[in-house]
């Protein structure tokens, strides 16, 4: 929860804007400012104070504990010009919060954390538990001193200015090792613990078993990614509570799935009880990996029979492919999630002109693999190959990467040996629709008129179907120098089912500096004025030109009062 504190009318108005934008994330604190800050500091993960930084420093100084537990604090000045990350830049998320507040209020985010200032990832912001000399190693990275990276797990990381050898080091491992005075240890989530338990098994017995198994095997508890068990034990209190205390998800597998997993230590007891010869080992191994700790049973001080079993598996590190939609071109239509994925990537793959749009958002050291028009399949193969090498890859496309863009060729190449993350973007059709008014208020379809990948016969059949169904149509790739007859043909098909006065919206370079838009009709549209940078939206029989805006009513019954 984000606590909001203000002392003036201007601050209160800005608080209201944040509360309206983030209704489920914020809580406004009223009353005397000092009391409000103290209550919010105790109750919230983050604070946004519409107060002078000096005042906030004096108010929170007695409350500060440490960088791990303190909330992130952002200060916004009276004029709303700056959003200052004051405390908890990394650990409390204040740096990112300052950026988010800045975007909402039109303020300039002020971030003074050294790593953020020069584009080096903070070692405590990589999404992995971190131990050791974070400050010393971060300082070495900033000063250009050689820092060695020992990525034992092969976990995909963002670009780091590291060397083969150095006096300082970063180790990525799930092994239970103590970092040296000049070393940082990052704990990747590579371990899966399979758990079985008798009815009523105490949580302390389950936890003692798990922690003992990890400790004896020399494995870190902080690298446990999940607990796994059979569906018959999905609500067993001891197992559920153990997952909660470890702070990891509980993965549930069916008995049939577990019975199909080959294990070294099957048993008749679980087969009779829950329908599978193995619970702990099978649940840990079901996703593949190396069995580090075979099935072991808990021990009880009173000598009574064990009530829990566990096994530990190390999953191999998987490469990461983020397929990122950049939106229609305007920077403010690039989503925060897309920006985060671009900064996380160690390898960027994309069309050269799209790379140029976001080059400034990449971290120093990001490897860029760019190519020209017509190399979509090659880019998709390259991105998948890099991910299979264990890299964190971002494959970019315009609009939404899943709409006439790079997601489909990439996923056609990818198998289940890499993690794939889809990052949605604002499509050209949506950007154009917002400019035109509300042409997509009812059922609508997008059709590409390019026959480079699809036979014209198929395209024509789809246009006829949309015409006969009275669906609003948005045409992508409507016309180029070598393809000048497809758009007139498509418009003629629609004209056979719609009035000549049907509104048609034409938007070129939506959201870009040279954006242009006009509203015309089906009969008046001149196809020669359209090119590949244009989106053409043809209304249905209900679409109207209302005050110069293209509007399609949400329901046909609404038409009765508009004619």
Q: Give residue 481's pLDDT.
A: 85
Looking up tokens 């103590």 gives 178
Q: Which residues, in sequence order, are CB contacts of 291 under 8 Å at separation 6+?
A: 264, 281, 284, 285, 311, 312, 313
Q: Give residue 338's pLDDT.
A: 94
Which residues sit opposite 537 in a β-bridge? 474, 505
Q: Which residues, in sequence order, are CB contacts of 254 under 8 Å at separation 6+?
A: 230, 231
Whole-angstrom distance, CA of residue 201 vs CA of residue 489? 72
The Cβ-side half-sphere exposure at 271, using a 13 Å CA radius, reads 7
Report the Cα 522 to chain-centroid distance in Å. 41
Q: Give residue 428's pLDDT.
A: 93
The Cβ-side half-sphere exposure at 78, using a 13 Å CA radius, reads 5
Whole-angstrom distance, CA of residue 156 vs CA of residue 319? 6
**Radius of gyration of the chain from Cα atoms?**
29
Q: Give residue 355's pLDDT.
A: 94
Q: Hey, what are 379's tokens?
A: 């880019």
Q: Give residue 167's pLDDT.
A: 87
Q: Compute, in degrees rounded to 10, the torsion defined by CA atoms 20, 22, 26, 30.
A: -10
Q: Give residue 80's pLDDT.
A: 86
Q: Give residue 114's pLDDT.
A: 61
Q: Give residue 351's pLDDT.
A: 93
Q: Spell out, as residue ranges, where the chain has pLDDT lower than 50.
A: 563
The Cβ-side half-sphere exposure at 44, using a 13 Å CA radius, reads 27
């Amino acid at each position: 929860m984000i606590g909001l504190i203000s002392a003036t009318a201007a601050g209160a108005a800005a608080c209201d804007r944040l509360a309206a934008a983030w209704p489920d994330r914020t809580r406004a604190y009223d009353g005397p400012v000092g009391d409000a800050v103290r209550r919010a500091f105790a109750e919230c993960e983050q604070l946004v104070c519409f107060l002078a930084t000096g005042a906030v420093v004096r108010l929170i100084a007695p409350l500060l504990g440490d960088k791990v537990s303190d909330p992130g604090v952002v200060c916004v000045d009276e004029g709303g010009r700056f959003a200052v990350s004051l405390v908890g830049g990394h650990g409390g998320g204040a740096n990112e919060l300052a950026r988010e507040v800045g975007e909402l209020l039109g303020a300039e985010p002020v971030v003074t954390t050294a790593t953020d200032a020069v584009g080096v990832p903070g070692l405590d912001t990589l999404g992995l538990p971190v131990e050791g000399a974070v400050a010393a190693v971060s300082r070495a990275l900033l000063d250009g001193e050689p820092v060695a990276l020992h990525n034992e797990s092969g976990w995909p990381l963002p670009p780091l200015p590291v060397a083969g050898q150095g006096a300082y080091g970063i180790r990525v491992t799930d092994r239970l090792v103590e970092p040296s005075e000049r070393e940082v240890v990052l704990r990747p989530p590579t371990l899966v613990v399979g758990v079985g338990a008798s009815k009523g098994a105490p949580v302390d017995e389950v936890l003692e078993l798990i922690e003992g198994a990890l400790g004896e095997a020399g494995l870190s508890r902080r690298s446990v990614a999940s607990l796994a068990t059979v569906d018959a034990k999905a609500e067993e209190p001891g197992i559920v509570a153990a997952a909660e205390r470890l702070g990891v998800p509980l993965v549930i597998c069916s008995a049939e799935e577990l019975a199909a997993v080959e294990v070294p230590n099957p048993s008749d007891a679980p087969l009779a009880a829950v329908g599978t010869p193995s619970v702990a080992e099978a649940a840990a191994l079901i996703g593949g990996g190396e069995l580090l700790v075979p099935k072991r049973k808990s021990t009880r001080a009173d000598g009574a029979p064990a009530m829990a079993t566990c096994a530990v598996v190390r999953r191999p590190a998987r490469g990461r492919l983020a397929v990122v939609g950049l939106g229609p071109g305007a920077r403010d239509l690039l989503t925060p999630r897309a920006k985060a994925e671009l900064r996380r990537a160690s390898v960027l793959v994309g069309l050269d002109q799209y790379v140029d749009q976001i080059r400034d958002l990449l971290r120093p050291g990001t490897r860029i693999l760019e190519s020209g028009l017509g190399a979509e399949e090659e880019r998709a193969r390259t991105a998948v190959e890099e991910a299979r090498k264990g890299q964190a890859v971002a494959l970019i496309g315009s609009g939404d990467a899943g709409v006439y863009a790079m997601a489909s060729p990439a996923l056609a190449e990818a198998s289940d040996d890499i993690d794939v993350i889809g990052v949605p973007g604002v499509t050209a059709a949506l950007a154009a629709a917002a400019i035109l008014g509300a042409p997509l208020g009812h059922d609508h379809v997008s059709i590409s008129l390019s026959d480079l990948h699809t036979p014209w016969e198929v395209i024509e059949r789809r246009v006829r179907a949309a015409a006969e169904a009275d669906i609003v149509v948005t045409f992508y790739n409507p016309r180029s120098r070598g393809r000048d007859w497809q758009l007139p043909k498509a418009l003629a098909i629609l004209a056979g089912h719609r009035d000549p006065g049907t509104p048609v919206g034409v938007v070129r370079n939506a959201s870009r500096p040279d954006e242009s838009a006009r509203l015309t009709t089906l009969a008046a549209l001149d196809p020669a004025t359209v090119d590949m940078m244009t989106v053409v939206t043809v209304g249905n029989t209900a679409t109207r030109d209302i005050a110069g805006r293209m509007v399609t009513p949400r329901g046909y019954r609404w038409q009765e009062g508009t004619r």
